[in-house]
Every structure is written in structure tokens, then in C-alpha cells.
Chains A and B, each alone.
Chain A
Amino acid sequence: MRQAIGIDRVVKRYGAFEALKGVSLSIADNEFFTLLGPSGCGKTTLLRTIAGFEDVTAGEIALYGENIAALPPEKRPVNTVFQQYALFPHMTVRDNVGFGLRMQGVAPAERRARAAEMLELVHLSDFADRLPTQLSGGQQQRVALARALAPRPRVLLLDEPLSALDLKLRQAMRVELKQLQETTGITFVFVTHDQEEALAMSDRIAVMSNGQVQQVGDPRTIYEAPVNRFVADFIGETNVLPVMVDAVADGRARITLPGGHVLTTDAVEGLAPGAHHVSIRPERLSLATADADLTARVERVIYLGTDLQLLARLADGTPIITRLQNSSRNELPAAGAEVGLTVEAGAARLLLD
């Protein structure tokens, strides 16, 4: 696996404020890599240091093994799709798309051909002679994409490119972007605060918070094996329960759930016996037929179509959410009823903090 971008202990300070607190990442060639995190966690800042719009305070960024710290943006083989598109308002769509090629000194004939090819790729061939203001938001977004792809960069940076689009268009663009990445083979670094978007598109995800990377992994690992409370909470819906770890041996841990039931689950590295938390996804809980792991009192049942959501509380008041498939077999408990819940084997994930 060849490394496209190596980010080594990068720190970015604005005055006294640290926007990036020592970020290290290795992004592979041809990878669809996503930076995911809540607003203000430093995703844009990290992207801007890669593009060259911001200097780093400390640390190094390497592009295909070459340190790019001293290179201005125009010398980096990296193109950006800006959050607000930043299309040149005085140029036609064709000239916008051809701009990078013109700056690279590509001859007019080839420039025209390649701009046309790019517009074809994003289904905008009929709009080549329009000005950006004469396009819809979705079309502008695709022009921005075509403009950034036209010079054939080795890395494409995308800063929440879909956030300004409505839901339908956003979902369609997810598929298109993913396909585009696969056909072009360009390394994509994609920024979003939308976990669903991240899970749907990425080869790997880096979850960020507070200027730090919390976890890096493929969507499945991030979703099913979050390493800490932040990641577990941020990605999808989850139940975080306080537990006692009684013993750790051979990568397994014996834990006591609230209510006293004991079960064993995978340990995580660096885990010591004592008070900890586990994350249990709502869909990994079910109504107990016999021996229950958890006992809770139902507060509300919400009908969601394909699913049912059971909102309940444990004896100590901890809220717990259960997702049940909507099938005629289910006999639904009423509000106020006491139910037993079964935790699917391996579903209780120990968290480090």
C-alpha cells in the first residue's frame, strides 16, 4: 500500500488557540479517506494545511514521500472542492473547468477537449457556456468538482461538498462521488460532519474531535468497535452503560452489567479491572425470551416503519434504547411494563474512557 499523504504530529495554532493538537495520519494512494467530526473540530483546518492555504505551527506533511511544507498551493499536485464552491463568477462554466489546465500551460485545443470531457463526466455538457450564477446549487457543486478534477491531481480534497445540497441530491451525489473516485483512481480526502455520509462512502474514516484524531478505521470498525465514548456516541445511535470489569485475561474481559448480570466480551488494549463503560448498539439488543442480561422499564415505543424503537430506563435511571425489527411476531410491551433485554454475543464493546 503506497502512502499518498503522511501527516506527522501536525499542530496548528491560531494565537493561543490550538486548532490541531498533534494530528498524525497516513492516507493511502487511491483511497477514499474521510475526516469525520463535529463542527469546529479542525477538519477544514487540516484540509487547508494539506492544500497549502495554512502553514503548520509544528509537524510535517508529506505528499508521496516529499515534504511539502515549503510549497505554495500552486506548486502542490492537490486540488480542492471548496465548501461554498468558490466558482469564478466572471467566467463561463467551460472557462472555470479549464482554468487549472490553462494555468498549467495546456494548449487551447487540448484544454477544450479535456474541459468537455470533465463536463461530460459530471453531466453538465449542455451548460458549458453559462455563468455560475445561472446554475442551481447542485450544478454549481458539480462544476466545482469538474474544475478540481480537470488538472488530474493526485489528491482531491473535498470540504463538505454535499452539505449545501438537499437530501435527495445529496444521496445521489454520494454514489456519484464514490464511482468517480473509483474510476479516476484519485486519492480523495473527504471532509464531513455527517456520519451516515462517511459510513456510506469511505474506505477509511478518521474520527476527529477537538483538534485530535480519536480513531482511524474502516466504516465497519468505526461503527462496531469504537475505541472511546466520543466515537461510540458520535457514530450512529448507541447505549453507553457503566460496567465493572472484574478480570481481564487472554484478550477477554469479564464484566458486570448494571443490575448484576455477568458476561464476557473482548477486552481492549490497556484495559485494567475497575469501573468502565460499554457501548451497545440498539439493534444488538433484543427482548429476552429467558434469562435476561438487563432489566428495564419501558417508557415509550416509537413506530419507525421498518423498525420499532423502544425507549426504556434501567433500575438506576440510565436510559437504554432498543431497536426491534417490525414484524408481526413481535409482541410489543406497553409503556410502564418491565422487560428483560438480551445483549447479542460480542455486542458489548468496552470503551477506554
Chain B
Amino acid sequence: MAAAPHASGSLATGWRSLAVPLMLPTWLVIGTFLLVPVVLMGVYSVLTKDFRGGVVWEFSLAAYDQFFVTRGLFGDEPPQIEWTYIAIFWRSIWQAALATLLCLLIGFPTAWFIATRSPRHRALWVFLITVPYWVNLLIRTVSLRFLLRDQGPLNEGLLAIGVIDAPLRIINTDVAVQLGLFYSYLPFMVLPIYAAVERYNFALSEAARDLYAGPWTTLREIVLPVVKPGIVAGCILVFVPSLGAFLAPDLLGGAKTYMIGSLIDEQFRGSMGNWPFGGAVAMILMSLVLLVLLWQARAAGRGRR
């Protein structure tokens, strides 16, 4: 799209004729690793479950029925709305939104700080932000569990210096899940905001101050709207994976902090699982995410008009 104005002349035309063969590997990869699994999930979700995991190739809407409708313990009562899974969704959305907000509150000042350093130092700070992510997410989450335990370094340390009298109950609570999500996805918030703030023209802030806006008004009226694309990108990049996360809730949360990711994960484990149900939950989750993205794209389109 951006290249369109230059796409004249023989050189550009030559490149355009190469576009299809050059894009082919990309399309193949996307097709194989994105579309096929999604279609597979979609198909599984409307099949019949087999007893020891797996599916029987027979069309059935039982999975969706199980998600939305209940007919009592023995299946003989009149159909009513099943709240169990909706509640899990609701809690997951809530958790993901909270994690996104937390990442934004910490990530924005961090990105701002980095973007306002001298160019040489910026590269160093960005590098430091990404260092923890060289370690596998599972290992990082497990070490966070270790850190937050009742007898972990955090509690022992706080006890030692006398800030608290008894260990803080963090592990197996929502707080631990929040910390886990925050820690897992913070860079996805920091990096896009950093990119936006780095491009921000600070003369705009001076112009606002010059025109009688105080520092906070300048932030609200000028800075935030101008760097908004970076903020929106960061929020999506944190919210979407948080919504489907299962490592943090599984390893850090308790029985009550059950999230969609864990629910799906469970359906595909061993002989206890229910593949069609797992597929159905995944499809419902994906529709939800697509709705969020569509809404955002429409809002962005309106803003750019």
C-alpha cells in the first residue's frame, strides 16, 4: 500500500511481477501453521467426543451445547443457561484486562523513560528489557512461583527486615496470577509504546505548554492522543495472550483462578479430555478476540479519517 506511489517504471513493475513467487513461502507458512490448526479446531468442535480423548467423525453440536446450556445433573431438567464456563470467560477477561492495565501503568513510564534517554543509552535499555525473555516462559513462571512462595526469598526477605510478621499469602491467589501475566507480557507493552514515544515530536509538548496547558493537560491532550497507536498496539499484544494464558494461572493461581487457557489445555490432556469441547471453547475465545480486534480497527479507521 505504502509502495503504491513508487510502483511505476519498469523496475517497480518488474518487482511486482515477482511478488507472487516471493510471497509464496509466507503464504505457505501462514496457511500451514495458522489456518490449518484453526480449521482443525473448528472441525473438531462440531464432532462427537470419543471416550479416551480424540473424536468420532460424526457431526454434533454437543460441545457448544455443553458450553452454553445446562439440563441439570442428570440431563432431564428443562434447558437453562450454563453459567460455569461463561463465568470462567468473564473472570479471564477481567484478569486479562487487569493485567493489561497493570502493564500499561508500568509500561508507559518505562517506555517514556527509555525513549527520552540519549540514543546510545536507548539501545542498551531496550536490550535490558528483552534479556529475561531469553529464558523460556515456563522456567520464568516456575521461578516466579519459587520467588513468591510462603517460604520463598520474597517473604523470607520481608520477614528478615521486619516489614511483615507473617508470610504474605501471594502464591495461589489472583495477585500471583496478575504478577505472572504482568511479568510475562510487559515487554509487549513497552516496546510498541517506546517506538511511538521515540517518534514523538517533543516540540508539540512545548507548543502545548506555550499555549497555557499544564504538564498533565499536555499529557492528556497532546501526548496520549499522538502516541495512541503505540498504546493500542501494546494493549492488544498484552490482552490477547493474557486471555488465553494457562501457564501463569496453572502454576501461580489457585483452584479459584481458573482461566480459559487452563480450561482448553485440560480438554486435550490424557484420556480425561474432551476434544470437541476444547475446540468449541477455543473457537469461542477466538471469536471474542476477533471482535476486540475488529472494534479496534474500526476505531483506528475513524481516528485516521
Contacts and interface: CB of A to CB of B under 8 A. Distances in A.
Interface of A: 51-53, 72-74, 78-80, 82, 84, 86-90, 99-100, 103-104, 147-148, 151
A80 B213 contact: no
Nearest to A100: B211
Nearest to B228: A90
B226 A89 contact: yes
B203 interface: yes
Given A80-B210, A147-B207, 18 more contacts: A51-B210, A53-B209, A74-B209, A79-B210, A86-B203, A88-B204, A88-B222, A90-B226, A99-B208, A99-B213, A103-B208, A103-B211, A103-B212, A103-B213, A103-B217, A104-B212, A148-B210, A148-B211
A295 to B, nearest CB: 55
Given A90-B225, A100-B211, A151-B212, A73 B206 contact: yes
Majority-rule SS of B interface residues:
helix
Nearest to B204: A86
Pairs of residues from A and B, 6 with the lowest C-beta to C-beta distance, nearest first: A100-B211, A103-B212, A86-B203, A73-B209, A86-B207, A90-B225
Residues of B in contact with A, size category? 10 to 19
Given A74-B209, A151-B211, A82 B217 contact: no
Contacts of A148: 210-211
A100 B303 CA distance: 23
B213 A74 contact: yes
B201 interface: yes
Given A86-B201, A90-B225, A74 B207 contact: no
Interface in B270-290: none
B203 A74 contact: no
A88 to B, nearest CB: 6
B222 A74 contact: no
Contacts of A88: 204, 207-208, 222, 226
B210 to A, nearest CB: 5
A86 B210 CA distance: 11
A82 B303 CA distance: 26
B207 A84 contact: no
Nearest to B207: A86
A265 B76 CA distance: 120
